[in-house]
């Protein structure tokens, strides 16, 4: 369990350091993606958006989302929150990491905080030049590293 938690913290720290993720949302068989500026705390990936934008409207209809940061894919559940000004923890972290975005958008009436609770994280890792797919099952607190065989034989 300690290994799982330590490795998960490392992955989330990479996401936090990068600060930008590609968010994929879908509703009614329409899939879309776009970059979002993110902060990470309490094991969640958090961003702000406008209620007027497609991503917000799709999340209202389907809370299952995916985020991608470099070679890290995160599947999770999005939770619609209130205004950034009503969320001190978010405002403080977001202002520190994304001052321009915070200054330009956080004060708008339509701005809302979205928290993504990761459910599954998948990433590629190379050990001794050999590829592995590492998977975190968050709820089960399971960590698996599976060798990726790239041979052409089935």
Task: Give the DSSP per-residue string, 79-131.
Answer: EE---GGG-HHHHHHHHHH-HHHHHHHTTSTTEEEEEEEEEEEEEEEEETTEE
Q: Is residue 133 part of a domain?
A: no
> Quick one: pLDDT at residue 89?
97
Task: Answer yes or no: is pLDDT of 151 > 90.
Answer: no
Report percent pLDDT > 90 for the chain.
Answer: 95
Write out the two tokens for 27.
């509703």
Domain assignment present for residue 117? The answer is yes
pLDDT at residue 88, rounded to an integer: 97
- Which residue matches tokens 């007027």? 52
Question: What CA–CA distance (Å, rounded) separates 67 from 119?
Answer: 11
Give me the number of domains the chain comprises. Answer: 1
CA distance 77 to 87: 19
CA–CA separation, 85 and 88 (whole Å): 7
Q: Could you tell me the CA-to-CA distances from 89 to 29, 55, 61, 99 in Å, in that order?
A: 34, 23, 26, 15
- Give domain status of residue 128, yes or no: no
* pLDDT, tens only, 25-71: 999 999 999 999 999 999 999 999 999 999 999 999 999 999 999 99
Residue 35 lies in a domain: yes
At 123, phi and psi to the nearest 5?
-155, 160
> What is the model's pLDDT at position 153?
61
Task: Indicate whether 132 belongs to any domain.
Answer: no
pLDDT band at 154; cut points 50, 70, 90: low
In-domain check, residue 19: yes
Domain that holds residue 60: 2-122
CATH number for the domain harbouring residue 117: 2.30.110.10
Give the model confidence (pLDDT) of 57-113 as tens digits: 999 999 999 999 999 999 999 999 999 999 999 999 999 999 999 999 999 999 999
Q: Is residue 93 part of a domain?
A: yes
């Amino acid at each position: 369990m300690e290994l799982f938690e330590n490795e998960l913290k490392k992955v989330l720290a990479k996401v936090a350091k990068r600060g930008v993720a590609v968010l994929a949302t879908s509703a009614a068989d329409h899939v879309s993606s776009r970059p979002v500026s993110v902060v990470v705390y309490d094991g969640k990936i958090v961003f702000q958006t406008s209620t007027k934008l497609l991503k917000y409207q799709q999340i209202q209809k389907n809370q299952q989302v995916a985020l991608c940061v470099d070679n890290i894919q995160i599947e999770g559940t999005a939770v619609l929150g209130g205004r950034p000004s009503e969320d001190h923890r978010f405002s403080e972290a977001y202002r520190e990491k994304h001052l321009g975005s915070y200054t330009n958008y956080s004060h708008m009436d339509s701005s809302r905080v979205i928290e993504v609770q990761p459910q599954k994280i998948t990433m590629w890792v190379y050990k001794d030049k050999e590829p592995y797919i590492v998977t975190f099952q968050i709820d089960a607190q399971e960590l698996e590293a599976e060798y990726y065989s790239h041979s052409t034989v089935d």
